[in-house]
Copies of this chain bind each other. A is one copy, B any other.
Amino acid sequence: MPIVDSSLPVLDLSATSIDLTRQLCDIESVSGDEATIADAIMVSLADAHHLEIIRDGDAIVARTNLGRDKRVVIAGHIDTVPINNNVPTRYESIDGVDFLWGRGTVDMKAGVAVQLKLAAELADPRVDITWMWYDHEEVDSDLNGLTRLARTRPDFFAADFAILGEPSNGTVEGGCNGTLRAIVRTRGARAHSARSWVGENAIHKAAPVLARLAAYVPAAIDVDGLVYREGLNAVSIAGGVASNVIPDLCEIVVNYRFAPSRDAAEAERHVRDFFEGFEVDVVDLAVGARPGLDAPLAREFLAAVGAEPRPKYGWTDVARFSAFGVPAVNYGPGDPQLAHHDEERVPLAQIDAVEQGLRAWLASR
Residue of B nearest to A203 (CB): B234
Contact segment of A205-213, A260-268, A291-299, A343-351: A205-213
Tell me the minimal C-beta distance from A81 to chain B in angstroms. Answer: 12
Q: Assuming A177-B194, A201-B213, A213-B207, is B236 touching A237 (CB within 8 A)?
A: no
Interface string of A287-321 (1 = CB under 8 A from B): 00000000000000000000000000111000000
Minimum C-beta distance from A138 to chain B (A): 13
Known contacts being A193-B255, A313-B195, is A207 close to B203, with CB within 8 Å?
no
A175 close to chain B: CB less than 8 A: no
Interface residues on chain A, number (Cβ under 8 Å): 47
Contact B240 A244 (CB under 8 A): no
Given A203-B234, A204-B234, A231-B196, are A253 and B257 also a contact pair (CB < 8 Å)? no
CB of A148 closer than 8 Å to a CB of B: no
Q: Report yes or no: B210 in contact with A207, Cβ–Cβ below 8 A.
A: yes
In the bound complex, residues from chain B placing their C-beta under 8 Å from that of A194 are: 177, 179, 231, 257, 313-315
On chain B, the residues within 8 Å of A252 by CB distance are 203
Interface flags, A62-104, vs B, CB<8A=1, else 0: 0000000000000000000000000000000000000000000
A245 within 8 Å of B (CB atoms): yes
A198-227 vs B, CB cutoff 8 Å, 1 = contact: the mask equals: 000101111110110110001000000000
Could you tell me which residues of chain A, from 160 to 174, have a CB within 8 Å of some CB in chain B?
none
User: How far is B34's CA from A170's CA once the two chains are assembled, in angstroms?
Assistant: 69
Q: Which of A211, A237, A337 has the most CB of B within 10 A?
A: A237
Partner of A255, one of B214, B218, B244: B244
Check if A237 sits within 8 Å of B235, measured CB to CB. Answer: no
Chain B minimum-CB-distance residue to A283: B243
Q: Does A270 contact B (CB under 8 A)?
A: no
The residue from B181, B197, B231, B236 contacting A239, defined by CB atoms under 8 A apart: B236
* Additional A-B contact list (9), CB under 8 Å, known A203-B213, A204-B214, A234-B240: A177-B194, A195-B313, A201-B214, A203-B234, A208-B211, A210-B210, A233-B246, A236-B241, A238-B240
A-B contacts, 18 of them at CB < 8 A, read A181-B243, A192-B337, A193-B257, A194-B231, A194-B257, A194-B314, A195-B229, A196-B233, A196-B257, A203-B235, A203-B237, A207-B207, A208-B211, A234-B240, A235-B241, A235-B246, A237-B238, A238-B238
Nearest 9 A/B pairs, CB to CB:
A236-B240, A207-B210, A196-B231, A194-B314, A203-B234, A204-B214, A194-B313, A207-B211, A193-B255
